[in-house]
Amino acid sequence: MPRFNHSLLLRLRQDLGLSQESLAVLAGIERASLSRYETGARRPEGGALAEICRALSMVAARAGHPPVRSEDLYLREPLPAEEVDGFLLADVRGRG
């Protein structure tokens, strides 16, 4: 099963200029839950993940970026930590 990429969630939020509080409000979740998702303490399940992606996509669209899909936030294969830490919003958008 693919592994949730909590570091990428954090990086996307930061790259879009959102605070944890603002993303949590847009997604309709608790800020504490978002914090746990970003640190890897918990993995967002269906509804929460869909709402996070919806909120990120809304902000990304305003900045001219494509939507964030839930599958974007999962690793298909393990990556070295330096590669995960090096992702930028543009790197994730490499799909056609």
For residue 75, is pLDDT > 80? no
For residue 47, is pLDDT > 80? yes
For residue 24, is pLDDT > 70? yes
Q: What is the 3-state secondary structure (H, E, C) of the chain?
A: CCEECHHHHHHHHHHCCCCHHHHHHHHCCCHHHHHHHHHCCCCCCHHHHHHHHHHHHHHHHHCCCCCCCHHHHEECCCCCHHHHHCCCHHHHCCCC
The model's pTM is: 0.75
Structural domains of the chain ordered from first start:
3-87 (1.10.260.40)
For residue 57, is pLDDT > 60? yes
